[in-house]
Each structure stands twice: as C-alpha cells, then as structure tokens.
Chain A
Amino acid sequence: MAMIEDDEIIRVFIEESTEHLDGIESDFLEIEKDGANMNVDLINKVFRAIHSVKGGAGFLGLDKIKELAHEMENLLNLMRNGELVPTPEIISILLSGNDKLNELITHYADSNEMDIAEEVVMLKGATTAALPEDEKDSVEIEEKICLPNGYHVFCAKKLELDQAQKAGRILYLAEFDLLRDIERKNKSPLDIIKEIQQAGQLVESKVDIAAVGTLDEQNNNMRIPFYVLFATVLEQDLVGKLINLDDSHIYYFNKERNIFPLSAANDAAEELAGNLNESEESSAPGTNIKQEKPEAAPPPPPAPENKEEKNAAPAGKTAPATPQKSTTAKTATGGAAKESHPTFVNETLRVNLKDLDTLMTLAGELVLTRNQLLQTRNQNDAKELENAIQRVDLITSELQEAIMATRMQPIGIVFNKFQRVVRDLSKKLNKKTELVIEGEGVEMDKTIIEAIGDPLTHLIRNSVDHGIEDVETRAAKGKSPTAILRLSALHEAGQVVIKVEDDGAGIDPERIKAKALENGFISAAELEEMSDNEIIKLIFRPGFSMAREVTDISGRGVGMDVVFSNLSKLGGTIDIQSKVDVGTTISIKLPLTLAIIPSLIVRVDEDRFALPQVNLVELVRVSAGQAANRIEKIDNAVVMRLRGALLPLIDLRQVLQGQGSGFTDLEEKNEATNIVVVNAGSFNYGIIVDDLLDSEEIVVKPLGLHLHHLETYAGATILGDGRAALILDIVGISKAMKLKPVKQKQEEEEKQLENLLGQKDSQSMLLLSNGHDEQFAIPLGLVSRIEKIRKEDLTETSGRRALKYRGGTLIVLAIEDVAPVKPRVETNSPYVVVFKYGGKEVGVVVSHIIDVVDFLTDIDEDTFRQPGIVGSSIIMDRITLLIDLYGLAAAAMPERLVELEEEVQRSSSHKKNTILIVEDSKFFLNQIKGFTEDAGYNVVTALDGVEGLERLEAMEKEIDLILTDIEMPNLDGIGFTREVRAKREFQDMPILALTSVAGEEAEKAALEVGIDEYLIKLDREKVLSNIENYLQNGRQN
C-alpha cells in the first residue's frame, strides 16, 4: 500500500509507536533474565506493543515497519504460546530487530527505502527454527483472503493466520465503511485499529479504494471499504457489538479458513435451520456475495480448541510471496516520493495536568496584577505600586518554577537504556556485569536529560571495557565473578550527583604515568610531584586514551576529555576516584536545569560578565598590602597563596584583551584585588576582576553564529537593566589561557608558604560575630563545614537547639550557652559552623561570618579565659575571643562527655593507644587534645620539653606516639626529640612535629634529630591520618 500522506495521522502514529517501543528494550532484557521461567504477562505486553506498531504501519503504508514488526511479532507469538524459550540468542535477535524498528520509525519518511533484510532474515530464521517441522514453510506462504463472493481483499501470511487462530481465537474479517462507520462517527481508521487491538489480534487491514468504483455509477450508498482481518476469542454473536459494526459487514473463518458471513452464522445459530439469509446490501458496490466454497458447512461456530489443523486453506493459497510484494491499492497519490524526508524527533512532552492548572492559575494572577499595575500608574500611589511590584515578583518566580516543573523528567529515562548497553558489552567481552540502578526517579530538566546520555554511555562503556575484569581474572583476584556496576543519581545541594561505580580493576596510576610519559603529555619531573589522584585525573586531559588497543567499544581516540568537555558545557563537573583492584567511582555533578542559572555578576572596566555559580568556589579579597606577599610568579605563571595551596591566577582584563597569561601589575595598584576562585573540573584557579557586583538568576541565551567559536563565553544573558551581558565559560577560559594546576608536593608548598609569609605559628582562623562588637575566632582546621540556614529551621525543644538537617537532627549550640558573652542577635539566615565532637557532628550557631584570615598565633591565654573561651588575640585590629569548640561542646552537653569517658574506659580494656602531646600554648594544646581524644586516643600532655621528658619517663610503657611543638620554653622540640632518641628504648617511638617554625633549615634540623613528620598545626585531618599511619606501621626508616 502506498504511504498515506496525512501528516497529522502519521505524527500521532509515530508518537504512539515511540511510546509503545519505549520500554520494550528493558522488557526484552527482563524476559531474557526470566529465561524458561516465562512471565507471560510481560511477553504479552511486548507483543501488544509491537503489534500496535504493526497495525498502524500497515494502515499507513509504512511497509518496512510493518514487515519488521510482523516478523518480531511472529517470534514473540511463539514465545507467548510457549513454543519457544527466550534464549539470549533469541533476545539478541529481537533486540537488534527492535533497534532497527526504532530507526525505521525515526526516519519514517524514508523507511520504505531502508534495508531491513538482515533483521528479517534473522527473525525468520529464529521463527522457522522454532516451528515444528510441518509448519516451517508457513513462514513464507501467503494466503489470499477473499470475500465469500470471491473478491480478493488482501493476502496474509499463513503462519500468522495459523497463530491467530490458536488458543481459541476466531478469525474475522470486518468491512467498515470509511464514510459511515468511521468518518461520521468522528473516528479515524487508527482508532478502529486500536479498538480491535484491545480486544483481539489484528492480522491485516486495508482501505480498498479500488473497490469504490467510479463516481458516475449512480450509487447513493457508495462505500469506501476498510477491511480489517483480526482474531479474537469473542464468539460470533458478540463480535459485532465489540467493534460496533453491523453483523452484515462481518465475516468469519472456520478453522479450515473458509469464509462465512457472520449474519448468516448468527441467524443460523438462532434458528438452527441453516436458513441462509442473504444480505445483499452488505457488500461493496458491484459485488454480490457468492459462496465460493460450497463444500463448507455454514453455521455452527467452529470449535476453536483444535490447534493442530494444518490443512491449507483450499482456495486462497498462493505461492510464497516475496516480502517486498505488498498488497497494492491505488491511492490517489501513488506513493509519490516526498520532497522533504522528515525525521521524527519527539518534540512533544507529557505534562502533568496539575502543573498545567498551576500555570493557568498563575497566568490569571499575572493578568490581574498587570491590571493593578496599570491602575496604580494612573493613581500615582507609591504604596500600591510597591504592592503590585511585589506581586509581580512573586508570581514571576512561581511561574518560573511551574514552567520548570513541566520540563522536569526522571533520569530513569536515560539510565534504563544502559541495561542493554551493559548486557551487550559484557556478552561481547565475555564478562559478567550486573547493572544496579538507583535513584532513577530523580528529575532533571529535559535538555539535560537529553544531553547527559552520550557522556554517560561513554563512562559506562569505559567501565565495562576497561574497568571490569573478565570472569577468570576476577576469580583469580578472589572477587565474585559477577561485577557490580552501580549507576545512581541523587539530589545534593540543588544539584544532581550522578555516580558510576564499578568494582573492577581500578585505574593504575603507574599505567597512566607510563602512558603520559610515552605521549609526552607531561615530564617525568612533573609526574614525580603529583599525587596518585592527580595522576588519575590526567585522563581528563585532551587526547588521553587509556585503551591498550583500540577496540570497537571504546578507545577510538576520544576519551574522558570529551566526556569532560561535554559535561562542562552542561555546567557540570566531574571527579574520579580509583583504587587498584577495588574499583573506580566517577561522580558527576549537574545543575537541575540549564535554562536558568544562579550566577555572580562581575565587572571589568565598564563590562559586566556573568559567572555561573556552579563554578564558583570562593571569593578572595587581597588587600593592596598583602598582594606582594600572596601573589607571585612561578615559571611565567601567576599564582596566589591560598591556605597553603598555590592557585593559578589570571587577570580577566588580560583574558579579554587576548593577552595570554600576563597580568596587571598588582603591586602598583593601590586598592584591594578581588579574586574569584573557580573550579574548572580537575583544578581550581583564580580570576582577578575589578569588582563583584551581585548575584543574579540569569536566563542563558545562545550566542550567534559569528561568536560560537569563542572559548571565553558560554553564552549571553540579559541583565536586570535590559542590557546584554556575556556568560564566562570557566573551563573554556582555562583552556584558552592554557592554565595548568600548580603541582607541588605538600611539604614544599608548606615550606614555601612559610618562607613566603616569613611567619611563625600562622593559623587559618574563621572570624565570626554575633552581631555585637565582640569578635570570635575558630581554627578553620577544626571546622567540618559551614551551613547557611534559615531562622525557621532552627527549633528549640526541651531546652536544646536543633536543626533539621540532611534527614537527621543536628544539635546546635550557641557561644552564649556557655561563655559569658552577649547573646546572639537574631538574623534571618544565621550560620551554623559544624564540627565533630565525640564522633558526632555538632553545630555552633552565629549571626555572621566575617572572614577567614591567616594570623600569627600570638595568643593571650589569661585575660579572657572563661568557659568555652580559650584566650584572646588581636585579629584585624580587634580583640578576638578564641572559641574552645571542645570546651564549649563539653560544657553544653555534659552527658556526651560522660558517654565519651565511658567509651574511653570501655575501650581502654583493649589496648588503646596513648599519645603524648608536648605543646606550650594552652590554646593549641586544648585543640589538639580535643581532636585526638575525639579520634579515640588516650592523651597525656606536657607544656614543654622538660615536662615532656618527665612524662615519658614516668609512663614509658604506655606512650605509643609523641606529638611535639617545636618552639617551646625551657626545652624546645628539637632538643626534646634529641633527648628522646638518645635513649635506646625510644628508638622506635614515632615523633611528629607540629610545625610553627618555618624554613627548610628548621625542617632539616628536625628530621636530622629524628622527627618523623612535619605537620601543620591544627590540620586535623592530616595530623590524624599521620598518627594512624605511624601507629599502624611504626617508624619508616
């Protein structure tokens, strides 16, 4: 049949088919999993889906789609009737058929010219192989379907007819009239097909234009017959009601496939007399019903349960027809090729009715508010105007949210297609992989959902190809033969985190090293200085592919760098963690939506730029005086010191002027420098701007053709004043400027930091205030996180403040709970400083965060000493009270202290490690004691080297490790260590220095006397990890 060119009908069909086929792939995989233990409902579901596609395609003249669907259906039908067990091979055939079917549907306009021979042959082969010997030829044989008067309607496959008549179904031929039965009832032929498919199984359909005859045949009851051949379990007396058609236009077939008018059968059934009541008006013009097969006894409804009839229908059998040959009817167009060949892209989106209602309500509100605005303009009433503007503001935000909601789709749409990818790949590579999907309900914007597919596919392929070992290797490693590949999504702080985790071989940094050297990516010296994690991150560099050989699965020269840049385009970031033989975890962070992004507006000269907040790490202001110290040049690159790390720095003005990595001479500037620290995926860098203006939610607009190629920009937006502003592309800029992370060993960094600052005992302190003139400080090293909260989230129950927080409750203290300071001034969004106490998180609420400063620890430990306050210092020209977090927590929660002590006693029954801390500053002593005890160690303290030696002598057997300060009165750390090492029994005692004395020489001296490690004071994590390491492994000589 020629293709019908009704765009609307085709569009509906294509959309519906796409929907039908949508979940089929995973259903096939499910069927495969079930194996012989078949889930008939599921098979039925798939069968129906394919069947619907076939029905519609047949009607629309999409012959290739019909043919392919038909072959798939045959195979499924065998399965459904229990004649075929779905083996992986069968499923593979069906899957490739499904792929082709999807392709045909997508390119529906060209589908009739596409080649489906391979799929059809495979499907046919599988079907034939499964059939009993004597039915095999039925795959190819076609039978003619004729009306009782001999009028040839169309042909149908014998196999299909056989299958249709099985399981108690009766085969019917219905003759609808396009005009009376369909058009006038406001239906379309597709509706009829759908109705029938709900009740039975459609075999073939056709609009028979040829039967219409000529117009001048004076025939006022002209019909355009629409024939539908179908099978259903409904008996003859009911079928007419089902399809809403008069019995006179329905025929049925007995099991020998002889055709009888239904009306006759029913009348006969009623009268039992076999009175053939001819109903002449029933037929198409110019045809009379003639019993062509007189030998067939008309009435009694055929007994359907007999499946095994194989008598070929006597009249209508034809020689095997080629698949291409289809029943042709002359449509007006004769199937003229279309000029354009549209490809189907799903441009529709299902929207929850509730969301639409919300939108409607909001639109109504907006109209009302507009009226209000117009009115107030006339009245010139400032207060009314204010009100109206507020409403517009509110409605706009709500409208925005509501519209976003309509675009949100579950990520499962993408995730679920990976079942197939993993299955096919594993099979090909002889690996066993189980894909575990979590969080498929997490919703993201449609555009992101669509764009995330390719990068994820790449990651999954990589994982299966390179990460996961084959069964033998896994067995040799003592791993379970089936690898687990976990794909998960979850919400985190307004972003979606997608993780791809495998328990495979992991990435070997040594191999990356070798590869990087081989490709000349990096020098051996540079590699030497990099940590394993940094080395692994090299795979994000352009052109880096790890595949040992180029396989057709991955490693086509495109690698993680492509994934990385694709994700960057979406505003996402990627991180990788890998351990040899344990596995690899790749985390991707993505914004929920692309359309509207929160961003920071910055200024350079008179130009404003938007900087997406996803890329934003922190804002740093370097005062004119500090600039010379903190900003310097290393190998032509400008870097900044930031809490011990070196940060590559660029001047946005230079970027804009295309002047490479040069930068304005900061020392000549007399004002503070604003630096925006941003994350470019694998590393951070700082951007110098003139001014930080505001945070704004911006709508991202694409740049025109002439500007597409610019790496500096990610797009443009329109700011509040109506002017256009460009959006900076953080990753693009780093590429354009050829920025590289500054790599240095931690120790070197520290040394350089100390050299640079030329300071002793410098600490990063978090400055806080409670809204009064009192200023507080907390060592930053002790802080886990800082959260900005809403006032309402803080609840007070039974005298205790708590914060509902990440699904749990966080106990929140206030400084004034313990220390005699002024109570906190209530603000709408206070901050909670989170730290660990007794293994649990505790928060301290404050009104404001002032700054993070590095300051000389010149601490007055007497003047202000109070509960919860450990001392005072002058920071930024003000007296600052240093908060004793552990003291604060202990005083506010005495019960926790008791618990802790009990815990200590309980565990001290096992061997518990004891640490001697030698430190003259009570402030530091308290803090260090706090976090080491918290980590579960017994702590003994001493205030100088002399006291330290005394303690050591006294408790010789108990002490397992020493932490010592260097600068101390009486006997300093160096002297102390020398004394300790002088004694034979302490040769193996690990001694860690907590540095405050700067300089390479000091460190050298320290190492010479036998100090094992040089650590920054109050770098809690590092100190603890070193303690653990030394306690476990002892001294390493």
Chain B
Amino acid sequence: MKKSDQEWMELTIFQVADVNCAMDILNIKEIIKHLEITRVHNAPPYIRGVASLRGEIITVVDVREKFGFEPIPLNEDMRIIVTSYKGENTGLLVDRVLDVHMVDTDAMEPLASNINGINRDFFSGIYKMESGLSAVLNTEALLQGELNEHIR
C-alpha cells in the first residue's frame, strides 16, 4: 500500500456480504452502476461475466464468490468497482458501496486472523473506524488466486 511519506489516504468502503471492505481510492478507476453483465459459461465460478466499459470488454469478478459466500442475483445496490490488474481493467462486483473515508496510513493494523472465514491473504490490513472495522482488500491476491492454474 502507500508509503509513509503520504500520511493520509482516502479509502472507499464497500460491503460484500456482511464484511466491510476498503480499497485505496487511487486504485479505483471508476465505479459502475449499470450492471449489464454477460455471463460466460465454462468460466471459473468466481467470474460473474463480462461487461462493456466504453468499448472495452472487462472481466467482472464476483467478490462474494471469492470470499466463499453464495452469489446473489443482481440488485439495485450492487456496483462494479473497476481496478487495474496486470495492466487490464477488471471489475469487482460488490454488494454496495458505502462511503469514502480519510484515514491515517499508519493506523492500519495487520490482520490477526481470518475474517468470517475468508482467506486472510485477500486483505492487507484492517482499519478501525467509527462505523466499525474495514478490511483493506488486497486486489492482487484476490485476482491472482486461481489464475495460476489457468495460465499455463
């Protein structure tokens, strides 16, 4: 994450199942509301599908599925967070986007144990906020995962 030379960072807080997650706002390219996802048969289960982002085809990863929860049908609150992974835009489907918080970079604490049974590798740390805990998502780890098996 950010170095100590930058004391503050802005975190986007979003919800996946009952977990509050966070991402550095600088790692987010945009958040899409229009969820026109085309499903891709035969794809790994965590792939929700592909979507058109202004002429570009992006892969949409279902974060719920990655966390080990049951996928749910699309609803009004759901958003796709677009981030760059290995040079290509990739979408993360989350249940809802909550807020943006300014936090002190030094206040991030390491993860003591798994959260709600989710693989702790998916997070790089945790913030204590007034609204509760927010786990900072490690998108690299989240998106790498099973990819190794596919790219031979």
A708-B57 contact, Cβ under 8 Å, with A703-B50, A723-B52: no
A723-B57 contact, Cβ under 8 Å, with A656-B42, A706-B147, A710-B43: no
**Chain B residue contacts of A726, Cβ below 8 A:** 38, 40, 50
Q: Is B85 an interface residue (CB 8 A)?
A: yes
A706-B52 contact, Cβ under 8 Å, with A607-B38, A657-B41, A723-B38: no
Asked if A712 and B57 make an inter-chain contact with CB atoms under 8 angstroms apart, the answer reads no
Asked if B42 and A712 make an inter-chain contact with CB atoms under 8 angstroms apart, the answer reads yes
**Chain A residue contacts of B43, Cβ below 8 A:** 706-707, 710
A718-B151 contact, Cβ under 8 Å, with A705-B88, A707-B43, A723-B38: no
**Chain B residue contacts of A655, Cβ below 8 A:** 41-42
Asked if B151 and A708 make an inter-chain contact with CB atoms under 8 angstroms apart, the answer reads yes
Asked if B40 and A710 make an inter-chain contact with CB atoms under 8 angstroms apart, the answer reads yes
CA distance A725 to B37 in the complex (A): 9
Asked if A707 and B151 make an inter-chain contact with CB atoms under 8 angstroms apart, the answer reads no
Please report whether the interface of chain A is mostly helix, strand, loop or mixed according to DSSP: mixed
CA distance A657 to B40 in the complex (A): 10
Q: Is B86 an interface residue (CB 8 A)?
A: yes
Instruction: Closest B residue to A713 by CB, please name it.
Output: B40
Instruction: Closest B residue to A725 by CB, please name it.
Output: B38
- A658, A701, A718, A725 interface centre (most CB from chain B within 10 Å): A718
Asked if A707 and B47 make an inter-chain contact with CB atoms under 8 angstroms apart, the answer reads yes
Q: Is A807 an interface residue (CB 8 A)?
A: no
Q: Pick from A607, A701, A722: contact of B36, CB below 8 A.
A: A722
Q: Chain B nearest CB: distance from A866 CB in Å?
A: 56
Instruction: Closest B residue to A718 by CB, please name it.
Output: B52
A709-B52 contact, Cβ under 8 Å, with A703-B59, A704-B58, A726-B40: no
Asked if A658 and B41 make an inter-chain contact with CB atoms under 8 angstroms apart, the answer reads yes
Count of chain A residues near B, Cβ 8 A: 26
CA distance A536 to B144 in the complex (A): 44
Asked if B36 and A709 make an inter-chain contact with CB atoms under 8 angstroms apart, the answer reads no
How many pairs of A and B residues are in contact by the CB < 8 Å rule? 79
A704-B41 contact, Cβ under 8 Å, with A723-B52, A724-B57: no
Q: Chain B nearest CB: distance from A229 CB in Å?
A: 48
Asked if B41 and A706 make an inter-chain contact with CB atoms under 8 angstroms apart, the answer reads no
**Chain B residue contacts of A660, Cβ below 8 A:** none
Q: Is A716 an interface residue (CB 8 A)?
A: yes
CA distance A349 to B96 in the complex (A): 46
Q: Is B56 an interface residue (CB 8 A)?
A: yes
Q: Chain A nearest CB: distance from B46 CB in Å?
A: 8
B46-68 residues with Cβ-Cβ distance < 8 A to A are 47, 49-52, 55-59, 61
Instruction: Closest B residue to A657 by CB, please name it.
Output: B41
Count of chain B residues near A, Cβ 8 A: 28
CA distance A657 to B36 in the complex (A): 21
**Chain B residue contacts of A724, Cβ below 8 A:** 36, 38, 49-52, 57
Q: Chain B nearest CB: distance from A155 CB in Å?
A: 48
Q: Chain A nearest CB: distance from B64 CB in Å?
A: 16
Q: Is A702 an interface residue (CB 8 A)?
A: yes
**Chain A residue contacts of B42, Cβ below 8 A:** 655-656, 658, 710, 712
Q: Chain A nearest CB: distance from B149 CB in Å?
A: 9
Q: Is B2 an interface residue (CB 8 A)?
A: no
CA distance A577 to B91 in the complex (A): 48
Q: Chain B nearest CB: distance from A659 CB in Å?
A: 10
Q: Chain B nearest CB: distance from A991 CB in Å?
A: 55
Instruction: Closest A residue to B87 by CB, please name it.
Output: A705
B138-152 residues with Cβ-Cβ distance < 8 A to A are 143, 147, 150-152
CA distance A704 to B84 in the complex (A): 11
A776-822 residues with Cβ-Cβ distance < 8 A to B are none
CA distance A725 to B51 in the complex (A): 9
Interface string of A714-733 (1 = CB under 8 A from B): 01111000111110000000
Q: Chain A nearest CB: distance from B21 CB in Å?
A: 20
**Chain B residue contacts of A717, Cβ below 8 A:** 57
**Chain A residue contacts of B40, Cβ below 8 A:** 707, 710, 713, 726
**Chain A residue contacts of B150, Cβ below 8 A:** 706, 708-709
Q: Is B12 an interface residue (CB 8 A)?
A: no
CA distance A713 to B41 in the complex (A): 10
Interface string of A625-668 (1 = CB under 8 A from B): 00000000000000000000000000000011110000000000
**Chain B residue contacts of A712, Cβ below 8 A:** 41-42
Instruction: Closest A residue to B146 by CB, please name it.
Output: A706
CA distance A367 to B58 in the complex (A): 29
Q: Is B134 an interface residue (CB 8 A)?
A: no
CA distance A900 to B55 in the complex (A): 61
Q: Chain B nearest CB: distance from A557 CB in Å?
A: 17
CA distance A658 to B44 in the complex (A): 12
Interface string of B17-31 (1 = CB under 8 A from A): 000000000000000
Q: Is B83 an interface residue (CB 8 A)?
A: no
**Chain A residue contacts of B90, Cβ below 8 A:** 704-706
**Chain B residue contacts of A725, Cβ below 8 A:** 38
Asked if B147 and A703 make an inter-chain contact with CB atoms under 8 angstroms apart, the answer reads no
Asked if A716 and B147 make an inter-chain contact with CB atoms under 8 angstroms apart, the answer reads no
Instruction: Closest B residue to A606 by CB, please name it.
Output: B39
**Chain B residue contacts of A702, Cβ below 8 A:** 57
Instruction: Closest A residue to B91 by CB, please name it.
Output: A704
Instruction: Closest A residue to B90 by CB, please name it.
Output: A704
**Chain A residue contacts of B58, Cβ below 8 A:** 704
Asked if A723 and B88 make an inter-chain contact with CB atoms under 8 angstroms apart, the answer reads no
Asked if B57 and A706 make an inter-chain contact with CB atoms under 8 angstroms apart, the answer reads no
CA distance A704 to B56 in the complex (A): 10
Q: Chain A nearest CB: distance from B88 CB in Å?
A: 6
CA distance A722 to B51 in the complex (A): 9
A709-766 residues with Cβ-Cβ distance < 8 A to B are 709-710, 712-713, 715-718, 722-726
Interface string of A688-712 (1 = CB under 8 A from B): 0000000000000111111111101
**Chain A residue contacts of B41, Cβ below 8 A:** 607, 655-658, 712
Asked if A704 and B38 make an inter-chain contact with CB atoms under 8 angstroms apart, the answer reads no
Asked if A704 and B151 make an inter-chain contact with CB atoms under 8 angstroms apart, the answer reads no
Q: Chain B nearest CB: distance from A639 CB in Å?
A: 24
Instruction: Closest A residue to B53 by CB, please name it.
Output: A724
**Chain A residue contacts of B59, Cβ below 8 A:** 703-707
Asked if A706 and B36 make an inter-chain contact with CB atoms under 8 angstroms apart, the answer reads no
Instruction: Closest A residue to B85 by CB, please name it.
Output: A705
Q: Pick from A656, A706, A718, A722: contact of B47, CB below 8 A.
A: A706
CA distance A716 to B38 in the complex (A): 10
**Chain A residue contacts of B36, Cβ below 8 A:** 722-724
Q: Chain B nearest CB: distance from A604 CB in Å?
A: 9
A431-458 residues with Cβ-Cβ distance < 8 A to B are none
**Chain B residue contacts of A710, Cβ below 8 A:** 40, 42-43
Q: Chain B nearest CB: distance from A955 CB in Å?
A: 67
CA distance A722 to B35 in the complex (A): 12
CA distance A723 to B51 in the complex (A): 7
- A706, A707, A715, A718 interface centre (most CB from chain B within 10 Å): A706
A718-B55 contact, Cβ under 8 Å, with A704-B90, A723-B38: yes
Task: Identify 14 residue pairs between A and B in the complex whose beta-carbon atoms are under 8 Å apart, listed by A's number.
Answer: A656-B41, A657-B41, A704-B58, A705-B86, A705-B147, A706-B43, A706-B59, A706-B61, A706-B150, A707-B43, A709-B151, A713-B40, A716-B57, A724-B50
Contacts A607-B39, A704-B90 aside, 6 further interface pairs with beta carbons under 8 A come to A706-B43, A712-B41, A712-B42, A715-B57, A716-B38, A724-B49
